[in-house]
Amino acid sequence: MSQLFRTTGCAIFAFSALQANAGQAFQYGDLSGTWELAAGAVSINTHGVNFGTGRVDYRTGENDGNRISWQEFYIKPGFTLSYPLSPDFQLLGGASLMATTTLGDGDAGGYTRSSDGTTHWEEGYVGFKTGDWKFTAGRQNFQIGNGFIVMDGNIDALGKGGYWMGARTAFQDSAIVDWSHEAVRAQVFTLRSEDDLSGDYRMTGVNLDVDMAGQGILGATAMQVDSEVGRSEELVPRDGMKVYDIRALGVKVPGLPALTLDGEYAMQRGSGRGGVEHDAKAWYLQGDYAIDLLPVPVNLGYRYLTYSGDDDPSDNKARAWDPLSKGFSGWSTWLVGDVVGNYLLFSSNERVHQYSVKTQFNDQLTLGAIHYQFWLDEDNFYGTPVSDKRFADESVIYLDWTPSAQWYASLSYSWVNAKSAAKEVFGDDQGFNALELYVLYHF
């Protein structure tokens, strides 16, 4: 089983929930900025790992059993700066440091061990802003749309530690030109991933978003992917890949103000080293309906999602969708199933029906549940043939608590039932379950 298609970032959802109140502002003459500090911790207990076959260490191949418990911690201090040279021209800059560690058994996927962790610069960028234009270069974060393809530049595996939290997200050696005017925003970008498992690659392209007067956002992206390593070191064949994406997010339906629609369609084309031809696609449609006639507001949701698979992984045509630097911006977006998405399927060769319900008791407390039904798109599991595409079902119930602008906590329980394909691949059918407690502090 390969981890090459996985990008997590459970910390990102919590971080975005608090970011509106982030930072302590300061002023020194004309120089202004903010000091920021984020810290997170999670404790996870799993049993029935890999449906009973046990956790396999990615580096040694050793089996550590099917009951795995571990803890992860991170701390991230940082700052942003702004200095005006004229009323319409500002110098910009920012930097942050990230320290992470994993304790206990290491994560259930076998990608980190106890005491894995490191301290390293996360962000470090400079730039300027003038009128509608902004330019930044260095190590920085960047997101397109809701993170379906571009959001997270780092997987947080092996010696880095913190695999589940996915707190590291910045791209290295990046440059972004941003133009924004009224309802239109566009970027030209070049971004380099920093990762030990999915390979070293660069994405260069353009993005456009148009706000339809509060009725939704229409967007389109085109980019090219180039490998930054030699052919013999390229873990995933990406060199020469071209990616095209169109999307409509937060669309309101006339006459149905309670209904919100999202949809996106993306293709991977082009050819690269060794004659590899890319021919993959991914798309989803999602609807959310808000009910406010009950004592507490309730939101019902449904999404159908497809990531293409490869019917012949041995040939020179790459048909399986490569999720590249997808991110995590909320429950199931785009970690599809906290267990299945983290440890089993990694946003490739899968079709998913997702049903969700969520209620907010007050400004601080949200209770939700999600049920996923997973099929394989093609009848193989990372090259291992299966006779039935029905893979697994996952359900999760979660409680999110935001007691203040600085604190966020989440308690969740996920359980996965193996179906025909998973039983055939893993040879067992125990329930794969996870209990997770996550806490974040940010100012």
Tell me if 296 is assigned to some domain. Answer: yes
Q: Model confidence over 60-103: pLDDT tens digits?
A: 999 999 999 999 999 999 999 999 999 999 999 999 999 999 99
CA-CA distance, 49 to 55, in Å (whole number)? 6
Q: Are 398 and 387 in contact (CB under 8 A)?
A: no
Residues in the chain: 443
Q: Model confidence over 298-319: pLDDT tens digits?
A: 999 999 999 999 999 889 999 9
**Which residue range forms the structural domain that includes residue 168?**
10-442
Torsion of CA 321, 144, 152, 133, to 10 degrees: 140
Q: Is 373 left (phi over 0), alpha (psi -120 to 50) or beta?
A: beta
DSSP notation for 65-80: -SEEEEEEEEEEEEEE
Strand spans (E) along 274-431: 277-278, 280-291, 298-307, 317-318, 350-360, 365-375, 380-381, 384-385, 390-401, 407-418
Tell me if 189 is assigned to some domain. Answer: yes
pTM of the complete model: 0.93
CA-CA distance, 416 to 339, in Å (whole number)? 7
Q: Model confidence over 98-153: pLDDT tens digits?
A: 999 999 999 999 999 999 999 999 999 999 999 999 999 999 999 999 999 999 99
Tell me the CATH number at 122.
Answer: 2.40.160.100
Tell me if 1 is assigned to some domain. Answer: no
> In the 8-state DSSP scheme, what is residue 415?
E
| Among 441, 405, 339, residue whose Cα is nearest residue 47 | 339
> Domains in the chain: how many in total?
1
Tell me if 235 is assigned to some domain. Answer: yes
Q: Model confidence over 313-336: pLDDT tens digits?
A: 889 999 999 999 999 988 999 999
CA-CA distance, 280 to 278, in Å (whole number)? 6
Q: Report residue 196's pLDDT band, with 50, 70 and 90 as the boundaries.
A: low
| Among 209, 165, 169, residue whose Cα is nearest residue 191 | 169
CA-CA distance, 118 to 194, in Å (whole number)? 14
Q: Report residue 20's pLDDT band, with 50, 70 and 90 as the boundaries.
A: very low
Tell me if 385 is assigned to some domain. Answer: yes
Tell me if 328 is assigned to some domain. Answer: yes
Tell me if 2 is assigned to some domain. Answer: no
Give the distance from CA 281 to its chain's centroid: 18
Question: What would you report as the CA-atom Rg of the chain, rounded to the nearest whole angstrom?
Answer: 22
Longest dimension (CA), the chain: 70
